Amino acid sequence: MKAIIENGVVTALMTGDVDCGIPVPVGLPVSTGWLFDNERFSAPPQVDVSPDAQIEAERQWRMAELTVTDWLVTRHRDELDVGAQPTLSNKQFSKLQAWRQALRNWPASSDTPDNPSRPEPPKWLARLPLRTQ
C-alpha cells in the first residue's frame, strides 16, 4: 500500500501497481489524516473537546431535529383546523410529539452529551421528505 501525501498529511491510500505515493510499512494502520514527517508516519494528535462544547453540539443537534419536524406538527394541526383528513394518523402524530418532547427533556438528562442516549425518532419518520412542506 502507498500513501498520497499533501502538506505532510496522508490524503489517500493506494493499492496495486502504482508509481506514486510513499510505501506504508506492513502492519502500520495508516489511514487518511495521518501525518508524514521525516520519512515517518504518525497518527494525528487527539483533539480534546471540552464537556461544554460537547453539550452545546448536542443541543444544536437537538434543535435541528426539532426544527426539521416543525412543519409536520404545523401541517397536522392546520389539516385538523380546516376539517381535512390529516396526513399523519393520530398514532403517528402522538409518537412524533412524544419523541419531540423526549428531545426537549433530553439535554437535561444525566446522559448528555452521550449521543448513543439520544431519543430515537419514530421509524416512519425516516421515510418522509423532512425538508419540504
What is the secondary structure of 23-50 as a DSSP string? EPPTT----TT-EEETTEEEPPPPPP--
Sheet holding 2-6, edge to edge: 22-23, 2-6, 9-14, 35-37, 40-42
In a domain, 132, yes or no: no
Same domain, 20 and 64: no
Same domain, 94 and 70: yes
- List the single range of 5-14, 75-84, 111-120 with lowest mean pLDDT: 111-120
Number of domains in the chain: 2
Q: Where does the pLDDT of residue 50 fall: very low under 50, low under 70, confident under 90, or very high at 90 and above?
A: confident
Instruction: Determine the average pLDDT of the residues in 101-116.
Output: 71
Residue 130 has pLDDT above 80, yes or no: no
Same domain, 37 and 76: no
Instruction: Determine the average pLDDT of the residues in 14-27.
Output: 85
Q: Domain range spanning residue 78?
A: 51-127
Q: Closest Cα to residue 23, out of 2, 40, 39? A: 2
What is d(CA 95, CA 99) in angstroms, rounded to the nearest whole number?
6
Residue 133 has pLDDT above 50, yes or no: no
The per-residue pLDDT for 14 is 86
In a domain, 62, yes or no: yes
Same domain, 28 and 93: no
Same domain, 29 and 67: no
Q: Is residue 6 classed as helix, strand or coil in its secondary structure? A: strand
The per-residue pLDDT for 17 is 77
Same domain, 61 and 18: no
The per-residue pLDDT for 101 is 96
Same domain, 32 and 64: no
Q: Closest Cα to residue 22, out of 39, 7, 35? A: 39
Same domain, 64 and 25: no
Average pLDDT, the chain: 86
Same domain, 17 and 73: no
